[in-house]
Chain A
Amino acid sequence: MSQPSVHSSLSSKVNRVRALVYKESLQIVRDPSSLAIAFVLPFVLLLIFGYGVSLDASHVPIAIVQDSRTPASEGFIASLRNSRWFTPRPYPDIHDAIDALKRQDVEGILWLRENFGRGIESFHNAPIHVVVDGVDDNTARLVEGYLNNTWQTWLTLRNQRERLASRLPIELQARIWFNPDNRSRDFLIPGLIAVIMTLIGALLTALVIAREWERGTMESLFVTPVSIGEILIGKFIPYFVLGMSGMALSVLMSHFLFEVPLRGSIFALTITSSLFLTSALGMGLLISTAAKNQFVAGQIAIVFTFLPAFILSGFIFDIHSMPSLIQAITHIIPASYFVTILQSVFLAGDIPGVIIPNSVALALFSVFLFALIRRISRKRIE
């Protein structure tokens, strides 16, 4: 019964891995905290990012100061009022408007000077004076952009109406591709999937292995004929399935609840997600070789996997606008490759030029991590 030959045959290896996977599955199903990290946390994150967090500005209060009322200025203000971006508030003069800006009653000031009407009539163009509150840089830039946009649109319409279009030799026609509505939700939610899979793959895996050390079950496992490789596979399989389920939940929610388009194929999504999840599990297993209690494991996983996936992956903050040193760091963060893939698969479609190089990077990460884990893991307590 205890001959090593029996223990090293393939069928006994498969039996042991199956026993470990079954055990882990029972634990996942019975432990509310595992299920919470795998399903409740993604659900809550998706709700927050789907409904709560929006990087778009809408109905921004803006002060309007008219030095003189003319049909042209009234027309432009009416078009502002009709846009969903602004809520114009008239102020009698610029000093009152500046006070309002200081009180943060308004996010910006639109000042139509004395010569606005004349400028429009004679040159079919006129200076407008825009002051924005730079405290919130993001909103300030949006206000500026939207105002510019509204102004151009109004001007074009006016010129067309007066059949004077030919007088304008060059005209800007802005069109945003892949996210025509410019909804931040549409690019946030695909990125969020990378964060969720990092949570399940790295944080949850590192925690459950640390728990085995804390409770002494790892010591018991070690004193059975099970090999370290079997223990690793026994952890990998169930959390891979759990991670893909979390992924499926996120895709379903994003598609049906938040109406994020999925222009690429499910196939590409599955393959790339598997690659990323493998690297995330690799990080979790690597952490667990060093961290033998849940507190340390949790801290390491959050600092080295979750936060980078959140901040440095391009999920919220654009990598190209980061300092070059930080940009260099993003190259060693698997999530940054996956976020690029996800945003393109969801919003643009299966683009081989994006998917293939980034997938290769993820595959390399996975191979490197698992080779490292295999090298440093020992079936010993030390």
Chain B
Amino acid sequence: MAPIPKSHPMADLTSPEALISANGLTKTFPSPRGTLTALDNITFSLKEGSITGLIGPDGAGKTTLMRLLAGLLLPDSGEIRIMGNNPSRDPLSVQGSIGYMPQKFGLYEDLSVQENLDLYADLQGVPRNRRKELYAPLLSMTALSPFGKRLAGQLSGGMKQKLGVACSLVHQPPILLLDEPTVGVDPVSRRELWEILRKLVRESRSTLFVSTSYLDEAERCDEILILYNGKILGSGTPESFRKEVAGHGYRAETPGQSPRIVEPTLSLLPGVVDTVLEGSTIRIVMGGDTPPTFSESLGEIILKSVPPRFEDAFMSRIKKITNATPKLISIDRLYPRQSRNKNNKNGSPYAIEVENLVRDFGSFRAVDNLSFHVRKGEVFGLLGANGAGKTTTFRILSGLLAPTGGKLVVAGENVRRAAAHARQSIGYMAQKFSLYSQLTVFQNLTFYSSAYGLSGTQQKEKIQDSLIFFELEPYRNVSSGILPLGFRQRLALSCALIHEPSILFLDEPTSGVDPNARREFWHIINALATVGVSVLVTTHFMEEAEYCDRLLIMAQGALLAMGSPSEIKEKTKSPRIPDPSLEDAFVSLLSDFKKTQGDQK
């Protein structure tokens, strides 16, 4: 058996060996399309007393790596050492010295906060007389002290996540593995969790390994390990990544033209690695120090240099290995102009009109007197913390849920009277993949087009156009359940668009998708917007929010703020944060709201 630290493992820091190291780690899984290589010859070691971020899109192999470290999976080849032990051969020794939080938090929903803590303390063999002193800092750090008796199932998403962390910390493990702790959690809760993690490292010198698909979270780590398609694409401090791309970033303003229309052209210019919409401006990343040059035909473009960020480096690296440039796609073939105008029966400039919308569930008011308008061809974002009423609003707008009160007009139809009619002009893409995973790409498209009444040559042409437009032709006869995530998303979108709706609802459309695929996805959305399709999107992704023309931020069912991304940022400018990011703005708006709520009480 491997040497075992005799005293508290933290005392063993002098060991020359790294706390966690992996050498030539490979893991494959059998899959319907042959062997799937989840991890391909991975070698790394973690720095003690720091937070290392494992950054990569869904399907990169993050969860597989976490499970290998925790001794839940056996590697095909390669070796892992955790404090001198090998989790594959001696999992129990490793499992006593690590804290681990799986993606679903691993909480017992019908047990209270206190009972969950007690259970994990018992299983980890924490002596009863030490518990009080151990629990106190955990509960105060996670702000869960007042909720000891509440069932875990009745906690909000953010609180569950904090309780999950607390449960994995009851035995004061020197190492903490967190598998995507912030997925599906609103920005405020995400920020709070990161503060907890930072405090943990600062005060107890723990070593944290945190996986995430949010690129902006990379900046909060001490060290970064990029995992992409089962391989390590790079490692280092956020600073070292930023240095790589220092001076490569620009912000372009396009007065007189919609950035939505200019952006696809810019993305194809020579030397450009990445372009992305940021409110009314375009962020451009170059492959080197030379600034982009624009031809006269693009119109006036004002260029400003911007400081580098991690995402720029990430995109530069991905572009080197994928070599895929976003293509300019002709939307006109897929979306003939006449169909776009078919719903413009009335002269109203609005696609969606909501006035004083109210929805009650029993005594609980989920949507409270909400009013907003979405213009035709506008990309409109719905933001809010978990439980703010976004999903309810979405369901009411799509006619799935009846409102308690208020006026609701979608595509010129009163949803309360003609929900079925209004639904004809709505395309809906759910957050979870909601197509038939056993059916092939072609069968799914056939089913959805038939469901919307297409038949004969018209249907055949429509399906063929969709396959080409969304670049799904190579996957035509592949079961949709085993498509790569990015392509599944495209298929879902193509099915949502098959009846050429004039309004598109997107519920967290690109959460977890790799940034490259997200950009391609948004190119399609932008193209749809330019031909007059109105897009309503909910998201926790601040980057996605930047793509929107206007945003509505909800809190407790009511409107908290509305305006363009730059207007919202402007609102929260303060001496402390002179140039707030959208996330800063969002967090500060919500905490102000919570304060006033508290004052009223």
Q: Which residues of A pack against B, CB within 8 Å?
A: 1-4, 6-8, 12, 15-16, 18-20, 22-23, 26-27, 30-31, 215-217, 219-227, 379-382
Contacts and interface: CB of A to CB of B under 8 A. Distances in A.
B300 interface: no
Interface in B104-161: 104-111, 115, 118-120, 122-126, 151
A381 B108 CA distance: 19
A220 B106 contact: yes
A226 B119 CA distance: 11
Nearest to B99: A223
B4 A4 contact: yes
Nearest to A227: B92
B224 interface: no
Nearest to B85: A4
Contact of A1 (B98, B101, B151, B171): B171
B126 A1 contact: yes
Contacts of A215: 104, 106-109
Contacts of B120: 220, 224
Interface stretch (B41-49, B65-73, B185-193): B65-73
B167 interface: yes
A217 B171 CA distance: 18
A23 to B, nearest CB: 5
Contacts of A221: 106, 123
Contact of A2 (B9, B67, B168): B9
Nearest to A223: B100
A30 to B, nearest CB: 4
Contacts of A219: 67, 72, 102, 104, 106
A298 B70 CA distance: 30
A381 B90 CA distance: 16
A94 to B, nearest CB: 62
B184 interface: no
* B-side interface size class: 35 or more
B111 A26 contact: yes
B72 to A, nearest CB: 5
The 9 A-B pairs at the shortest CB distance, nearest first, are namely A220-B106, A216-B104, A19-B122, A2-B96, A223-B100, A224-B123, A219-B102, A30-B110, A2-B97
B91 interface: yes
Given A1-B96, A7-B92, A221-B106, 13 more contacts: A2-B9, A4-B92, A15-B122, A23-B119, A215-B104, A217-B107, A220-B168, A223-B95, A223-B98, A224-B124, A379-B72, A380-B71, A381-B72
Given A1-B171, A7-B96, A217 B73 contact: no
B383 to A, nearest CB: 27
B101 A12 contact: no
B398 interface: no
A226 B126 CA distance: 13
A322 B383 CA distance: 66
Contacts of A3: 4-6, 96
Contacts of A224: 95-96, 120, 123-124
Nearest to A226: B123
Nearest to B172: A1
Given A1-B8, A19-B122, A380-B74, A220 B167 contact: yes
A23 B105 contact: no
A382 B70 CA distance: 13
A16 B97 CA distance: 17
Interface SS of chain A: helix, strand, loop or mixed? Answer: helix
B103 interface: yes
Given A4-B4, A220-B106, A379 B91 contact: yes
B437 interface: no
Contacts of A381: 67, 72-73
30 contacts: A1-B172, A2-B9, A2-B171, A3-B6, A4-B90, A4-B92, A6-B125, A12-B125, A19-B122, A20-B119, A22-B119, A23-B119, A26-B115, A27-B108, A27-B110, A30-B151, A215-B104, A216-B106, A220-B100, A220-B101, A220-B106, A220-B120, A221-B123, A222-B72, A222-B95, A223-B72, A224-B123, A225-B96, A225-B124, A379-B72
Nearest to B112: A26
A217 B108 contact: yes
A16 B106 contact: no
B414 interface: no
Contacts of B8: 1
Interface string B161-179: 0000001100111000000
Contacts of B90: 4
A53 to B, nearest CB: 35
Given A4-B4, A16-B125, A217-B106, A225 B92 contact: yes
Most chain A CB inside 10 Å of its own CB: which residue of B4, B92, B115, B172: B92
Nearest to B121: A19
B102 A216 contact: yes
A8 to B, nearest CB: 8
Contacts of B101: 220
Contacts of B103: 216
A223 B167 CA distance: 12
A19 B124 CA distance: 10
A3 B71 CA distance: 17
Nearest to B164: A220
Nearest to B170: A224
Interface string B78-98: 000000000000111101111
Interface in B476-522: none
A382 B119 contact: no
B72 A19 contact: no
Contacts of B95: 222-225
A15 B96 CA distance: 15
Nearest to B109: A215
Given A223-B72, A225-B125, A380-B74, A19 B118 contact: yes
Interface in B14-72: 67, 70-72
Nearest to A16: B123
Nearest to B103: A216
Nearest to A15: B122
Nearest to B120: A224
Nearest to B29: A382
B123 A225 contact: yes
A15 B73 contact: no
Contacts of B126: 1
Contacts of B100: 220, 223
B506 to A, nearest CB: 27
Contacts of A20: 119, 123
A215 B107 CA distance: 8
Nearest to A216: B104
A4 B9 CA distance: 12
B125 A1 contact: yes
Contacts of A8: 92
Given A1-B171, A216-B103, A224-B95, A23 B108 contact: yes
Contacts of B91: 379
A27 B109 CA distance: 9
A9 to B, nearest CB: 9
Most chain A CB inside 10 Å of its own CB: which residue of B96, B104, B120: B96
A2 B73 CA distance: 21
A75 B96 CA distance: 88
Contacts of B71: 223, 379-380
Contacts of A380: 71-74
A92 to B, nearest CB: 65
A230 to B, nearest CB: 9
A367 B220 CA distance: 54
B123 A31 contact: no
B104 A18 contact: no
A36 to B, nearest CB: 14
A129 B439 CA distance: 65
A26 B110 CA distance: 8
A286 B85 CA distance: 31
Contacts of A15: 122, 125
Nearest to A234: B123
A209 B171 CA distance: 25
Contacts of A22: 119
Contacts of A217: 106-108
